[in-house]
Structures are given as structure tokens and as C-alpha cells.
Copies of this chain bind each other. A is one copy, B any other.
Amino acid sequence: MELALIKLGGSLITDKDRPYTAKPEIIQQLAGEVSAIALQNPHLKLIIGNGAGSFGHQSAKKYNTINGISTDVDKFGFCLVHQDAIDLNRLIAKAFLQAGLPVISLPPVTMGVTENKKPIKFNYSIIENTLAAGLIPLVFGDVVLDKIIGGTILSTDTVLAELAKHFHIKENLRVQLINVGNYPGVYDQYGQVISEITSANYPHIKNFLGESKSVDVTGGMLRKVKEFLAIADLGIDCWIIDGAVPGNLTNAVLGKSALGTLIKA
């Protein structure tokens, strides 16, 4: 059994410069590509996650939700962040349903709690059960209750990484994690995309990654590569690919030649 977790980057599916503005054409294209994947490999299990882009980050920033909730205003902000995330997720769900895919939106807030921003006691049985039923779980970066600071935010990257590890270790599935962004991959010092990063060439690569132009909002490419390398060490192949190139997502997931960077052990 194989599982592919596909992260649709917030900068790819929304207009980062315009609050609450999605990009319907690219969302539709990506839904079509996932549909092609499902048709060509019906035995592949899929989990989709979407970033928050210009939806979730508005209220998340205003209420500083990531750093905890204590006052009534914090709590109200927490609810607004959740609703903003649902508003974008709903558009993704509709496009995927339109493409004939049985996606079911499952908010991570319902799955567990964190302790000082670290996920503890997560219950993924709803994800396991929906996968077993032949459905496609659709998750997103969401608010989550926190035992120490009241509440915080779990990024889509964290949710998908936790799920990837869970299914790889607990269910012994062959798992791949595909990060679909609006940039061609990880650049080297000459502006060329690095096709493969492993722990062997990482010490050399990390020297110029800090200066990379391909930085996204969640904290830069160096952090992303570091996180993916840790996941790859467990035996999970991680891709950073350009979702704006039609067919690229389909090719990457189906193991065909794709434009992007593969991070592996």
C-alpha cells in the first residue's frame, strides 16, 4: 500500500497580495491533476492539505493566535482564524468534488491538542477510517487547543508531516510527501534547481540556502529543506515542485520525470 500526501501551497492557490482571494484556475488545474493521478493509480491512497495563503494569515496575524489565547478577544480571534481557514478549504473541496474526487474536509482542530505548540495526543482515527473507506481526507492548517497556552496554530506543513510519519511508522505504508508551490524547487548558488538533496550533499547546499530567493512565508527555504530532510531520514521521499507547470504534480506523484527537488535519505 502506498500513500501520497500532497500539500497545495498557500502562495500557489491564493493571491498573497489580496486578502481572501483564491486563484480558481490553478485550483481547478490541481484538482484535475489529482484526478488524473487517482485514475492512473487507483490503489494509491491520497491525503490533500492546503495552505492558508491570504485567507488564514489575516486574522492569524491580527490576533497573534499562534502565541496563545487567554483573553476573550484572543478566543474570538481563534474562532475567526478557524473560519477563515474553512473558507479557503471549502473552495478547494468544491473544486476537487467538481473533478469527481471523493474528498472530505476534516479540520485538524478536532484531532488533538498541543502542549506549548507541540502536537501531543493526536487521534488520527478519522483519517485512517476515511482512507480505509476509499475517501480522500482534505486537511489544512488549523487552530488547535493547547494545554499550556490555551490555543495555537498548526501549519499545514506540520499536520501533513505528522500524518506522513504516522502512516509510515504505524501502518508501515510507503509514503511520499509532495510540496506543491509556486516556485520551481530549491535553487543552487547559480540559480539552477537542485534535482536531489540528501544528507550527503546537504552540508554543501545549506551554505547558500539562507540567501536563496525562493523563500516563502512559513520561514524560508532553509527551514523547509531541514524539516524535509528529517522526514526523508525516516524513509519518506519529499518533493518540492512547481505546481504552476501543468502536469508536473501528476508526474511527480506517479514517479515520472518532474521539475523540482527531491529530498531523500
Q: Interface on A for B, CB 8 Å cutoff?
A: 69, 72, 75-76, 78-80, 82-83, 86-87, 90, 93-94, 97, 100, 102-107, 109-111, 113, 123, 126, 129-130, 133-135, 143, 145, 150-151
Contacts and interface: CB of A to CB of B under 8 A. Distances in A.
Contact of A76 (B100, B111, B113): B100
Given A75-B134, A113-B129, 17 more contacts: A72-B134, A75-B102, A76-B102, A79-B135, A80-B97, A82-B104, A82-B105, A86-B90, A86-B105, A87-B90, A106-B107, A106-B109, A110-B111, A129-B145, A130-B145, A133-B145, A133-B150
Contacts of A100: 76
Contact of A104 (B87, B109, B126): B109
Copies of this chain, complex-wide, total 2
A212 to B, nearest CB: 38
Nearest to A77: B102
The residue among A72, A83, A97, A110 with the most chain B CB atoms within 10 A of its own CB is: A110
6 contacts: A72-B134, A75-B135, A79-B104, A83-B90, A90-B90, A105-B107
A133 B104 contact: no
A102 B126 contact: no
Contacts of A134: 72, 75
A242 to B, nearest CB: 29
A13 to B, nearest CB: 18
Nearest to A134: B75
Contacts of A110: 106-107, 110-111, 126
Given A97-B80, A104-B82, A123-B123, A75 B109 contact: no
B83 A97 contact: yes
A161 to B, nearest CB: 20
Contacts of A145: 129-130, 133
Contacts of A82: 104-105
Contacts of A83: 90, 93-94, 97, 105
Nearest to A82: B104
A236 B180 CA distance: 51
A150 B129 CA distance: 10
Contacts of A113: 129
The residue among A104, A109, A145 with the most chain B CB atoms within 10 A of its own CB is: A104
Contacts of A105: 82-83, 86, 107
